[in-house]
Every structure is written in C-alpha cells, then in structure tokens.
C-alpha cells in the first residue's frame, strides 16, 4: 500500500497536455489558449465619447460655471454607430452619445449633467430649449480640459500588441476581447475524453424499478458530472456485469471511443470477485491497487493499450473523494492547466474527530466567522453515505499517522465549492501548492547522521543540475538574529515579518502564532525541482529513515510510512535499503521515483 502523495505523483507522470484544436470562441470558455493572440487593429479604433453629452472645443469652455455659463450653438446630434461630416468650430457643439466617434474639431466632451440639458425643465430659459434641428443653444456650466470624457483610439489595445499569451485560461472577459478583435475562432487545448464504466451485478439503471438486492447506478452519473465539471468530455459506457466477456467487451468499447482516460468504479477491493482484476490485468498492466487513504483505500491505477486507467472504489463517497484527488488533476493537466491542486484553507475543528491513521478526508461544512474558518463534519462519515458529500463544501484532511484531533485544533481543508457564507465580503485566502514539486522527509533518531545525509544528497542533486530546497525542522525554536543588528532591532520593535534582501540572497523572518504545516512551507518554494526536509515525521511526505547500529534496531517509522531506509544494517522490510555512503544510488532512486517520468511503479 502506498501513500496518497506517492500515488498522485506516479499517476501524474502518465499525463501531459493534449494537442490543440480550433473552436468557436464560446466553446473556448475555461479552456487553455494554445496560441499567442496579437491585435491587427487599435481598440477602440477611433476617438469616441466616454459619456452622453456635448462634443466641444475645450478652449470654448474656459471659465464656465453655473454663475457664468458659456453658451454654444448645437449643430448636430450624433448617436453611437454613426458619423458626421460637420466640424465643431469655435462657439459650436455637437450633441453626442456614449461610443459615438468624436467629430472633427472637438477635443473634449461635456456631460449632460454639466449643461443646461441637465437642469429640471422648470429651470430652463427660453434660449435653453433643446431642438438642435432648429439651431438650439446650450449652456455649459463646467470648464473641461482637452481629452476629458474622451476614449482615445488604441486606449485599450494597440495594433500589433500581444493581447493574450499562449497558456491563458479563457474567462468570459477574454472571450469578449477575442470578439472585439474579430476572432470568431481560436486554438485551445483539446478537452480530454474520459470513459466511465460502472461494474457490478447489483447495479441497475436510474429509471429501472428497484428489485431485491439491487441498487441504482449513481456512480456513473456522479463521475460523469465531475468529468464535465472539470472540463472533460464524459463517455458513458453504462454497466458491466461481473462477467469476463461482458467486462472485456465494455473496456474494448471504451477504447474504441479513443478516450484519453478510463475510469471504472467497483471491483478493485480486497474480497471483491476477481473478475475486474483479472480483466484489467489481462487487457493491460496495473501498477498499484491500494492507497493509504480513507475513504478510497481500494484504488487501482494502470494502463490499458496505452490509455491510463483509474479503478475507483465502488462506494459512492469513496469514488468521489478518489476522483477529486487523482482524476481531477489528471484532467486539468490534460487540459493544459497548471494550478492542479484543490484550493485549501486552514480551519478550526468544531468537534473532536477520530481517524484511522491513514490520510482521511472528512466531509465538512466550512463557515467563516470573525476572520477565521471553522470546520464541522456533516454527520455519519460512512463511505456509502452520499448525503455526507451533499451537505459538505469541503474535505477536512486528517494527516497520515493521526488518529485523534480535538475540537479547536486546526486542519487543512480542501474546498469543494465556495458558498456565500464562506466566500463573504472578507478577502478569501486560498492556499494552492504546486503539484509537481516532490517533498521528501529525512527522519531518524538523534545523532544518526540525518544532516550529513542531506548534505550529500543536496550536493549530488546539484551536480546533476537540479534545483534543491532544504527545510530544517526544529521543535525547540531557533534564533538567527544577533542583538544590535538592524533586523534584531526591528523584531524587538514588534515587526510581524522582516525581509532581508541583498543582490544574491533573501531571507524572510516571520512571526508565527502556530506552526506551519510542511505543505504550507512547500507552497512557498515554487522555483525548485525537489524539496528535502529534515524532520517532519508526522507529515504526509514520503520518508527516508536514517538508522545506525549503535542507536539500536528500533525505527521511528512503521513499514507503511517508509519510502526508503538508509542504514549500516539490513532490515527485513519490503522497502528500498541503502548504505550510509550510498549517495549516488540514493539519488538514482530519487530520480527514478520522484524526478523523472520513467520511474518505476511504487511498491504495493
């Protein structure tokens, strides 16, 4: 059995952005642009009025006020979409609507509200009657300057300008810009086609009457809805019975649809009939069958005729949670998107929570009060209680190795959506860590050589061209300022954060009211290829334990928690084991498992 992080990293190695296609711009909404878009024109293409009012010569309004109005003769009325050959000369004005081209001779616009047209009818004099066809006059009560209330040609976009860069996610505003540029079609990354197959003799269609021992096929619909929600095209294959021939035929039917990802549900748990496992094994190559998470432990991944396949659990909550963790980022990556993890917030638990020791995803309702997020579980948390997902707007994550959290403790919550009671008027702080940067923790008893090993690994990785970040965990606290230094004085004065910057180095010293989780620290380190940490035994990162004979044979980690072991003695464990000086071999293993697409499948 492998960890969630190991499974996710291995799964994601099998996906890349798909090829581009050209579509109509409305079909490009929320998709990734696959070309640079340059403008072949100025936008707006001509000087135009930004207000309803009067196009004037600014020089004619000098000194204008309510007590000393300037009178101008109105020579035309100009609506948006039309032009005029008349020229605004000294002492004249043209009545103009928003968006209409600025007529020749005019260099500013006076708003209606700043003229006699804006006065109540009973306050107008005979000479302010507005009938421009009979040669009306208008009084101006405000001096304007050249360019006032005028939108200049090219004010928004200049001809030849790069307007939208390749890789941009197209929102409604980008669609509007494309339309303004005259682009009816655009190249975007193709949407992935995702096959969805439910398995089991107990399943019936949603419109069939229930019979003893039967349940309706909800997984097909929830999975298809999730695929559609995240930008994929669901290819629904219906139900496959627990029969080798029927299941094989359904899988081949899905492959014939030229899908980019295959999703099955049910049939991969321990104790299930072997039909699904046998067929998947016969039709392709499966890489793992279980993940240390709850719900969602029975999760399979492999390839069938070159198409990645995720075997989701049969219980509806397990299937949806597993989809969010693995299928969602795979779909987003195929779409060319780079922000792949679910948005998260830190929330305060409102009740005690029990966990299995595996990474757990508790369905929870997240609310925001007095600037803090609070998490309350939605009731019974069984993997078949689909209404626990209906009531939830987030998944509270209980880290691996934790079996109990008390009310008042903080947890990281993956947000499923943002209802109004969460996304309120306060700014919403969203944490979104990069998916692709591996984090590996080096742990062990004191005096076993953890720092020495890290030092060697960093040097070897740098020699191979990798960018490396190192994180040191110190439970006792630390001091890095010397009394009298400027940074020390600023800290003593009460600064919450201090940044020391030089041309070649930068340091951030931040006062904390709680310990940051490793995932939060990793989210700050976005410009590296790998993060190595010393400590963080309780975290979810893959762990390399260092052990020495003189410190005994007892290990800090359980076999399920270990990714590898570095020691001067051998252990009867089914994990990679290296000697204390095997730096090259350890880095070879790190490269194959965490840093290259050709790594071996995780054990289990």
Residue range 315-326: average pLDDT?
96
Domain membership flag for residue 426: no
| Cβ contact 324:313 at 8 Å | no
Residue 538 has pLDDT above 50, yes or no: yes
Q: Where are the alpha helices (DSSP H) in 191-345?
A: 218-229, 244-256, 275-283, 316-322, 328-334
Q: What pLDDT does residue 22 have?
A: 98
Looking at residue 465, its pLDDT comes to 84
| Greater model confidence, 497 or 390 | 390
Residue 282's pLDDT is 86
Instruction: Examine the pLDDT at 125 and tell me if it is beyond 70.
Output: no
Residue 539 pLDDT: 72
560 with 469, same domain: the answer is yes
The CATH number of the domain holding residue 24 is: 3.90.105.10
pLDDT at site 436: 59
In terms of domains, do 229 and 263 share one? yes
In a domain, 57, yes or no: yes
| The domain boundary residue, chosen from 102, 135, 151 | 151
- Residue 433: the pLDDT is 42
Cα separation, 364 vs 389, in Å, equals: 8
89-117 mean pLDDT:
96
pLDDT of residue 271: 58
Q: Does 430 map to a domain? A: no
Which is higher by pLDDT, 197 or 485? 197
| Residue 92: CATH number of its domain | 2.170.190.11
Please tell me the least confidently modeled range out of 130-134, 323-327, 458-462, 517-521: 130-134
Compute the distance between CA of residue 276 and CA of residue 240 in angstroms, rounded to an integer: 10
pLDDT at 128: 45
Looking at the structure, do residues 139 and 185 belong to the same domain, yes or no?
A: no
Domain stops at, among 334, 362, 389:
334
Q: Is 502 part of any domain? A: no
- CATH number for the domain harbouring residue 371: 2.40.340.10
Residue 56, pLDDT above cutoff 70: yes
Q: What is the pLDDT of residue 585?
A: 87
Residues whose CB falls within 8 Å of the CB of residue 439, separated by 6 or more in sequence, listed in order: 5, 518, 519, 522, 530, 531, 533, 541, 542
Q: Express each pLDDT in 136-180 by its tens digit.
A: 899 999 999 999 999 999 999 999 999 999 999 999 999 999 999
Q: Which whole number is the average pLDDT over 481-497?
A: 74
Same domain, 327 and 241: yes
Are 150 and 51 in contact by the 8 Å Cβ rule? The answer is: no
Q: Is there a domain that residue 326 lies in?
A: yes
Q: Is a pLDDT exceeding 90 seen at residue 103?
A: yes
Q: Which pTM does this prediction carry?
A: 0.68
- Whether 362 shows a pLDDT value over 90: the answer reads yes
288 burial level (CB within 10 Å; 0-12, 13-18, 19+): buried
The domain of 556 spans: 439-485+512-595
Residue 524 lies in a domain: yes
Q: How far apart are CA 231 and CA 254, in angstroms?
A: 19
pLDDT at 489: 76
For the beta carbon of residue 223, count every other beta carbon within 10 angstroms.
Answer: 26
Q: Which residue has the higher pLDDT, 473 or 77?
A: 77
Does one domain contain both 178 and 261? no
Q: 474 and 586 share a domain? A: yes
Find the CATH number of the domain harbouring 535: 3.40.50.300
Asked if residue 31 lies in contact with residue 231, where contact means CB atoms within 8 angstroms, the answer is: yes
Q: 82 and 55 in one domain?
A: yes
- Tell me: do 402 and 370 sit in the same domain: yes
Residue 102 to residue 54: CA distance in whole angstroms: 10
- Give the helix/strand (H/E) hosting 584: helix 583-590
Q: What are 248-283's pLDDT values in tens digits?
A: 999 999 999 999 999 999 876 655 556 777 888 888
Residues 307, 395, 542, 539: what is their CA dihedral angle, to the nearest 10 degrees?
A: 180
Please state which of the ranges 27-31, 103-107, 320-324, 565-569 shows the lowest mean pLDDT.
565-569
CATH number of the domain within which 274 lies: 3.40.980.10
Is the domain of 8 the same as that of 85? Answer: no
CB-based contacts of 599: which residues, under 8 Å, 6+ apart? Answer: 10, 13, 591, 592, 593
Q: Measure the CA–CA gap between 536 and 526, rounded to whole angstroms.
A: 20
The reply to whether 451 and 539 lie within a common domain is yes
| Segment among 87-96, 253-262, 382-391, 568-577 with least mean pLDDT | 568-577
Which of the two residues, 560 and 26, has the higher pLDDT score? 26
**Are residues 87 and 233 located together in one domain of the fold?**
no
Name the nearest CA neighbour of 143 among 79, 58, 235: 58
- Among the candidates 167, 189, 211, a domain finishes at 189
Query: Measured at the alpha carbon of residue 274, what is the angle toward residues 272 and 279, in degrees to the nearest 5?
Result: 130
Predicted local distance difference test score (pLDDT) of residue 447: 86
pLDDT of 127 over the 70 cut: no
CA distances from 39 to 101, 141, 157, 170, 188 (A): 21, 40, 7, 17, 18
Span 319-338, average pLDDT: 96
DSSP label at residue 209:
P
Comparing CA positions, the residue from 262, 264, 271, 302 lying closest to residue 284 is 302
Task: Report the number of distinct structural domains present in the chain.
Answer: 5
- Co-location of 220 and 307 in the same domain: yes
Within a domain: residue 423? Answer: no
d(CA 401, CA 110): 70
Please check the confidence at residue 531 and state whether its pLDDT lies above 70: yes
**Is 603 domain-assigned?**
no
DSSP state of 192: P
Structure confidence by residue, pLDDT tens digits, 420-448: 555 433 434 445 444 458 889 999 888 88
Instruction: Give the separation between CA 6 and CA 603, rounded to whole angstroms.
Output: 10
Mean pLDDT value across residues 114-128:
73
Chain mean pLDDT for the chain: 87
């Amino acid at each position: 059995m492998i960890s969630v992080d190991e499974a996710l990293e291995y799964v994601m190695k099998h996906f890349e952005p798909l090829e581009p296609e050209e579509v109509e711009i409305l079909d490009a909404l929320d998709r990734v642009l696959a070309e640079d878009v340059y403008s072949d024109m100025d936008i707006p293409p001509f000087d135009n009025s930004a207000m309803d009012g009067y196009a004037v010569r600014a020089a004619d309004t000098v000194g204008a006020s309510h007590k000393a109005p300037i009178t101008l003769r109105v020579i035309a009325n100009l609506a948006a979409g039309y032009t005029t050959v008349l020229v605004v000369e000294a002492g004249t004005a043209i009545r103009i609507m928003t968006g209409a081209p600025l007529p020749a001779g005019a260099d500013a616009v006076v708003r209606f509200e700043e003229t006699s047209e804006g006065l109540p009818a009973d306050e107008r004099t005979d000479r302010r009657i507005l009938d421009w066809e009979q040669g009306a006059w208008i009084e101006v009560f405000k001096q304007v300057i050249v360019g006032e209330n005028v939108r200049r040609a090219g004010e928004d976009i200049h001809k030849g300008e790069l307007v939208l860069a390749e890789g941009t996610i197209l929102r409604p505003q980008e669609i509007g810009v494309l339309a303004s540029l005259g682009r009816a079609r655009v190249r975007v990354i193709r949407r992935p086609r995702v096959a969805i197959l439910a398995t089991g003799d107990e399943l019936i269609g949603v419109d069939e009457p229930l019979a003893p021992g039967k349940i309706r096929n909800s997984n097909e619909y929830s999975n298809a809805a999730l695929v559609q929600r995240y930008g994929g095209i669901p290819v629904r294959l219906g139900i496959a019975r627990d029969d080798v021939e029927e299941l094989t035929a359904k899988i081949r039917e899905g492959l014939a649809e030229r899908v980019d990802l295959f999703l099955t549900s049910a049939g991969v748990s321990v104790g299930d009939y072997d039909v699904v496992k046998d067929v998947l094994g016969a039709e392709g190559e499966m890489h793992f069958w279980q993940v240390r998470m709850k719900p969602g432990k029975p999760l399979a991944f492999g390839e069938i005729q070159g198409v990645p396949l995720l075997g989701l659990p049969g219980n509806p909550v397990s299937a949806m949670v597993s989809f969010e963790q693995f299928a969602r980022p795979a779909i987003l990556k195929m779409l060319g998107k780079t922000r792949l993890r679910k948005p998260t917030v830190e929330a305060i638990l409102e009740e005690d929570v029990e966990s299995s020791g595996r990474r757990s995803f508790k369905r929870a309702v997240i609310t925001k009060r007095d600037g803090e997020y609070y998490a309350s579980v939605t009731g019974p948390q069984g993997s078949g209680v689909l209404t626990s997902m209906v009531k939830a707007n987030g998944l509270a994550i209980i880290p691996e190795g934790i079996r109990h959290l008390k009310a008042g403790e903080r947890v990281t919550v993956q947000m499923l959506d943002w209802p109004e009671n969460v996304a309120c008027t306060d700014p919403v702080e969203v944490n979104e860590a990069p998916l692709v940067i591996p984090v590996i923790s080096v742990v062990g008893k004191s005096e076993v050589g953890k720092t020495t090993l890290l030092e060697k690994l960093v040097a070897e990785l740098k020699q191979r061209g990798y960018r490396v970040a190192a994180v040191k965990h110190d439970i006792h606290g630390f001091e890095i300022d010397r009394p009298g230094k400027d940074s020390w004085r600023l800290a003593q004065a009460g600064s919450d954060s201090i940044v020391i910057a030089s041309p070649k180095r930068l340091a951030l010293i931040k006062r904390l009211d709680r310990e940051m989780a490793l995932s939060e620290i990793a989210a700050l380190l976005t410009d590296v290829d790998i993060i190595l940490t010393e400590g963080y035994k309780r975290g979810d990162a893959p762990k390399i334990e260092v052990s020495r004979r003189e410190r005994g044979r007892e290990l800090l980690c359980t076999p399920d928690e270990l990714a590898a072991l570095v020691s001067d003695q051998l252990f009867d464990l089914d994990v990679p084991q290296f000697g204390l000086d095997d730096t090259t071999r350890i880095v070879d293993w790190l490269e194959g498992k965490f840093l290259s697409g050709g790594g071996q499948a995780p054990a289990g």
